[in-house]
């Protein structure tokens, strides 16, 4: 592995950076947030928000969307398979990981009864209709 080398960019080599990276790898303190967080885009379409979550490799049955009060929780989990793929049980390269993702969203301004979800080609799409703003009712009370 080459440390501190970036093509087409001038950079200074920091010998101590190599040791910091080694320490993070050895003690497993590297941030795994990129591996554990599903990437989402949220777009405001006027009368609704559209949330798109990247969940490649998941089956629709592995994805759960739960609403509890003003929060929507998106959970997806891969089931870990312990079987080795070759007859000797040796991998030359194994980059795929198994685990779970969980994200929580505040939906206090969303009509939670009208939320719709679709999962297609590794993208979960949620239509989140906004609550309609009701004008405060104006009336005059009769004095008795």
pLDDT at 34: 42
pLDDT at 96: 67
Q: Where are the beta strands (DSSP E) in 23-110?
A: 40-44, 48-54, 63-68, 71-77, 100-106
Residue 53 forms part of a structural domain: yes
Segment 29-46 mean pLDDT: 69
Residue 16 forms part of a structural domain: no
Number of domains the chain contains: 1
| CATH number of the domain encompassing residue 42 | 2.60.40.790
Q: Residue 90: give the domain boundaries.
A: 38-129
Residue 76 forms part of a structural domain: yes
Q: pLDDT tens, 73-119?
A: 999 987 655 555 566 667 777 666 677 888 999 999 999 999 999 99
Measured between alpha carbons, how far is 27 from 89 in angstroms, rounded to an integer?
26
């Amino acid at each position: 592995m080459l440390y501190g080398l970036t093509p087409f960019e001038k950079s200074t080599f920091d010998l101590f950076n190599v040791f910091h990276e080694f320490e993070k790898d050895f003690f497993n303190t590297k941030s795994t947030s990129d591996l554990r967080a599903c990437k989402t885009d949220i777009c405001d379409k006027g009368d609704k928000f559209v949330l798109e979550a990247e969940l490649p490799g998941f089956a629709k049955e592995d994805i759960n969307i739960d609403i509890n009060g003003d929060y929507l929780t998106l959970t997806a989990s891969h089931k870990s398979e312990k079987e080795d793929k070759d007859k000797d049980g040796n991998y030359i390269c194994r980059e795929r990981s198994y685990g779970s993702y969980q994200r929580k969203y505040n939906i206090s301004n969303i009509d939670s009864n009208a939320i719709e979800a679709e999962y297609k080609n590794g993208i979960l799409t949620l239509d989140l209709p906004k609550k309609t703003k009701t004008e405060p009712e104006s009336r005059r009370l009769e004095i008795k």
